[in-house]
Amino acid sequence: MFNLITKYLRPALFVTSSAAFGLSTNSTPTTNFLAQCLSTSTKAHPDDEIYDCLVIGGGVVGLAVGRELSVRGHTTLLLEKTANICTGASAGNSGIGCTGYDAPEGSLERWLLRRSILRHPNLYRSLGLSYNHVNKCGALVVAWNSSEDYALNEVLHSNHAAGDTEATLLHREDILDIEPALAQSSANGAVWVPREMVTEPWLVPIAYANNMLLNGGKIKVGSEVCRADLKELNDDQKVWHVTLTNGTVVRARTVFNCAGLYGDLIDRLGVGRSTFSIKPRKGQFVVFSPIENEHQSPNVIIQPVPTLRTKGVIVWKSVYGNIVVGPTAEEQEDRDDTSNDAQTIATLKKYGESILPALKSCRVVGTYSGIRPATEHRDYQIHHTKEQQWVTVGGIRSTGLTCASGISEYVADLYEDAPATHTNNPHQSRAAMPRTDPVLPPYLPSLPLQHPTAIPNPAAPDLYTLASDYYGRNDGQVYCFGRLWKVTHPLSIHGMTALGPVKLPKRRSNETLREFKTRYEQWQRRKNSDERNQATNGATATRRRRQKATQARAGGAQSGAPDGALDGAQDGDQQPVQLPKKELKLFTAEELDTYDGRRLSKPILLAVYGDVFDVSYGGENGEPSMYGVGSGYHALAGKACTRALALMSVDPKEIARGDDLSGLKQEEIEAALSWHRFLVKKYKVVGRM
């Protein structure tokens, strides 16, 4: 066992921790890792506390798990070996919010991604994040030549199977509508994936960390675990004695291994075996300066058709405006070598310029790489070995930033009431079962926060404030959530550097959102005036006719940002879209029934908790309504459907019971309430019943 450890774990070279207060540090330098392992003294932790939970690893996954456990009231300590949190794979990713279409169907990874997406709007808001930090821009999965065309159907199917039924196949002309920056490219066809998004990749883990601290958890950086022994505490209890390379011993009842690229080694260190071996997979990136001409700058994420191993090289605009090209997917032995090689960087640069010719006039402001903790499996490796009081959260390969919230919930559920069966079959866990929704709506209402008593983060500063602070301090740190943090993600560093020197008035905090709204309005105007396509392309023409009819019905309510696109934002920094005030009409059930989408002259309506909503339009890309004839939820059109939504059912018997909630469980009633909140946000209320 020690051979393996010495092979991979290099001697710990601790740097004194950053001045990040709120985090404590064990920064004693050590020289020989093996010697530490063999001759560790058993100095007890000074306060001699036995923690309920000890999390090893301060990447986004460990931080989210630590937060969830703390929020649920378990005394939790997180240990991170480097001098700062968010330094491993979490500091080398693309920062894309993934929808999971490229994760294997039926995998735990896809399940947890979908679960995360449901949690995000409310969770991110409670973490202090806003649409200033998360750009819900959508993605185009592009076929670059006719030989890739065939694969688009597969991509479309995967999106639909994952639950994103609004994903659509696009022809070249449609692609240019959505992304005019591709005009000079060879884009042949694409699948539009509206739910993919771009995040501030460093702030998300930091937000989890801050929330963990606020909710009573502790984080120690500069604390490398090198030994773990499960020892008798008394006749019927055992505790883990976890030894750090400086000799300190901390005690905890359960250990959570979130060590990323070292996950297999930490498993072997603790429980003597691992169900996986880490196969480090490097991804290199090139970062360009922002493209000044708005029409040549990409609005959406541009992805190639994914392969079994990787999502492929992506081109996108970071939340700060830099254009990024990457990542590659290169297998390597070394778990720490994040170097870039000139040839790969040159290839990436060329690839980026072939897609976005405007990049030729941009500066390369930096390069970076990250290493994915991939394994021999095409799925996450999450197990709770109850008798050994050990939870493995391993192999979180390429979607961990997005999935951290779903993972943390799943892991905490496993820990709280795991029967023995969990060890072998995570899909059967109680964590997954009760939330299996037979019907997943395309625009998902956010789940209510599971622990409403959890202390929320204060709002994070907007990007311009962060950048100014970063620039002004000049020591690599920023002040956020009331603490100082070291900025560790290269994309954030390049982004803050790009924005930093500009002294900006405060009002610019709304600018990203306003830019987005303006772009959306421009895009809609272009689409509406494009009569030529209506005549030549049957499918497109039908869609656009419906869109126009919809706009007529909605009486202009679609101007402004797309409805549903703004859920989950910190409300404070947004300009509400002003809708014309109208007197609300009173509907009888019979009358409502005539608004079921069968008559083009009438909008499609449905009622929940007595409010009548106009659900004629589908969403930001002008898709037909999901409630229209032939669509998945047509059965609800023209109906009072509070009960049906509470049960997530389109069973006619349940729909016929309208607003009758008798016999429903509390969580079902809450589901109906959450649907109502969602509809209020996304659709216009046009009447009452």
Contacting positions for ligand FAD (CB under 6 A): 56-62, 79-82, 87-90, 92-96, 98, 224-225, 258-262, 266, 283, 327, 370-373, 396-402
**Smallest gap, in angstroms, from Cβ of residue 400 to ligand FAD?**
2
**Smallest gap, in angstroms, from Cβ of residue 524 to ligand FAD?**
28
d(CA 221, CA 483): 15
Of residues 337 and 660, the one with the C-beta less far from ligand FAD: 337
What is the full DSSP assignment across 378-393? SS-EEEEEGGGTEEEE
Tokens 């050990």 sit at which residue?
A: 390
Of residues 90 and 468, the one with the C-beta less far from ligand FAD: 90
d(CA 92, CA 490): 7
Structure tokens at 337: 């070598």
**Smallest gap, in angstroms, from Cβ of residue 68 to ligand FAD?**
13
Of residues 196 and 596, the one with the C-beta less far from ligand FAD: 196
What is the full DSSP assignment across 31-95? S-HHHHHHT---EEPTT--EEEEEEE--SHHHHHHHHHHHHTT--EEEE-SSSSSS-SGGGSS--
Of residues 262 and 678, the one with the C-beta less far from ligand FAD: 262
Of residues 299 and 399, the one with the C-beta less far from ligand FAD: 399
Q: Which helix (H) or strand (E) element contains residue 177? A: helix 172-178
Mutual angle of helices 400-417 and 108-126, in 10-degree steps:
100
**Smallest gap, in angstroms, from Cβ of residue 112 to ligand FAD?**
11
d(CA 432, CA 108): 10
Tokens 């923690």 sit at which residue?
A: 51
**Smallest gap, in angstroms, from Cβ of residue 508 to ligand FAD?**
27
Structure tokens at 311: 């999502």
Vertex 562 angle, CA 355 and 512, to 5°: 60
**Smallest gap, in angstroms, from Cβ of residue 42 to ligand FAD?**
18
Of residues 87 and 122, the one with the C-beta less far from ligand FAD: 87
Of residues 79 and 358, the one with the C-beta less far from ligand FAD: 79
**Smallest gap, in angstroms, from Cβ of residue 364 to ligand FAD?**
18
Of residues 87 and 254, the one with the C-beta less far from ligand FAD: 87
**Smallest gap, in angstroms, from Cβ of residue 225 to ligand FAD?**
4
Q: How far is CA 50 from CA 249, 250, 251, 426, in A?
A: 11, 8, 5, 28
**Smallest gap, in angstroms, from Cβ of residue 88 to ligand FAD?**
2
Of residues 80 and 654, the one with the C-beta less far from ligand FAD: 80
Q: Which helix (H) or strand (E) element contains residue 206? A: helix 203-214
Residue 273 C-alpha from the chain's centroid? 31
